[in-house]
Structure formats: structure tokens, C-alpha cells
Amino acid sequence: MWASHIRYRVLASSLVVWSAWATVPASATADGPDRFAVRNVRANDTLALRAKPNAEARKITALPPFVRGLENLGCLDGKTGREPADIGLGGIRPWCKVRIGSLIGWASARFLREDGEILKPYSVSGAPSGPGQFVATSFAIEKTAAGDERWKVVTQTVISKSTTADVPNEVIITSQLVNCRHGRSEVIRLDGSAPGSSGRIEETPEPGYHPALAGFDEENLWWLTCRSIYQKYRWP
């Protein structure tokens, strides 16, 4: 889908594996991993990030399956408020406080695993590379076989923290299924001021829809207007 826009060149990367965390759900010991990844979430579902460590708390955002790079800020038993290491892990479903970009919240530890692999850097043709820092996101929507009102939202985020042009950019790709009503949904591109472009989903001439890319702008945002509710699909 991205072949006409982007060419990938995978560079060498290091791999760190903590075998104790590789095959079991995240536990909440003081010596836990630095980062988590989402696990055991169905392809058409999401993991709720909540304001407090319980399932009834306000939902901050929804994390798509297999999202990575969640910073571990500590885990607790939602009922007692204590670390599971203090009270034993038998039968306990702890919650972990995580950070992804500017978002901080609690996720159920049974849907988390250690993210021991260093994110692989990629070289992206047509995208700027250092010096300087930027976050640029491209966006596409494709209809799936899940139903007439079911759409797959794919975001591709290019993150550069390099200070020289020799350091490659890092690319993160995420996807999520969403329900959108025909005739009331549109894609809007925001560049920090007025919408740069928009188009109704039902006007797509083919199953894949690619909003026009107006270059890679700093901090550009893609939004999906779904049933008159703005839904943000970029995880910084």
C-alpha cells in the first residue's frame, strides 16, 4: 500500500531479550522491564488506557494491537494499591501505569509483555532526515471485509531525533479497525492550523483511500471524523 510513497531500508539493530518476560504476561515487580508492548488483543479490538487502575475508570485512549514502546511507570494491584511482589502473584490481575508520547494511563498487565527489542531504524525516501527533530505522520484508510461500516485506519509515523543527516529516521506503523457510518465520515488533515485537505470516505474510487500527502510537515496530524466525533490516530 505504501510502495508508491515510501521505500524502506532496514538497518542493523540490536536485540535485547529478557526471557523471563518474553512468554508470560507483565508482572509488576520493582525490577520489571523498561518498556511494554501490547499482547493478546484481537486484530479488530483495542486495549483501553485508563485514568485509574480499574476497569471502570475513565478511558483515556485505545491502544491498537501490538503497539510497542510503552514506558513502564510501575505496576500495582488495582484493589490494594500495593505492588504484587509484596502480596504474591497468585490470582492477581495487576495494572501497569504506562506512558506513550504525551499520554499516561493504566493498562491491564495481562495484555502487556516486555518490549525488549530495540525499535529498528529505517531510511525513508522522500522524508527529511536530520538535523533537527520532527514527527511526521502519513495516513490511509482501507475498507475491510468486516462490514460496510468497518474501516481499517493505518498510520505511519516518521520520528527523527537526529542532529545530523547521517542518522536514519525511525518509522512506526500501527493499524486499527473502526466503525464509521456511511455519509457522515470524512478524513481531515490538520497541520496545526486549518484543515489542509479532506474527503468523504464513501467517495473513494477504490477500496484503498490515500489522502493527498502535502509533504512531511512538523507535527502534522491526521484525524478521522467518525459519527461527528473526532478520533485521533497518532501515537507520538
Instruction: Please report the DSSP string for 78-140 in residue order.
Output: TTT-S-HHHH-STT---EEEEEETTEEEEEEGGGEEE--BPPPEEEETTS---SS-EEEEEEE
pLDDT of the chain, 236 residues: tens digit per residue? 333 332 222 222 222 223 333 334 454 445 568 888 888 988 667 788 899 998 999 887 777 666 777 889 999 876 655 665 543 344 456 899 998 766 789 999 999 998 876 543 333 333 444 444 444 444 444 444 444 444 554 444 555 555 455 555 555 555 555 555 444 444 443 333 233 333 333 333 344 444 443 333 333 333 444 443 434 333 22
What pLDDT does residue 230 have? 39
Residues sharing a CB contact under 8 Å with residue 100, sequence separation 6 or more, in sequence order: 49, 63, 67, 69, 70, 71, 235, 236
3-state secondary structure of 233: coil
Task: For residue 222, give the amino acid letter.
Answer: W
Residue 96: how many CB atoms within 10 A of its CB? 25
What pLDDT does residue 166 have? 53
What pLDDT does residue 131 have? 42
What are the two backbone dihedrals, phi and then psi, of residue 85, each rounded to the nearest 5 degrees? -65, -25
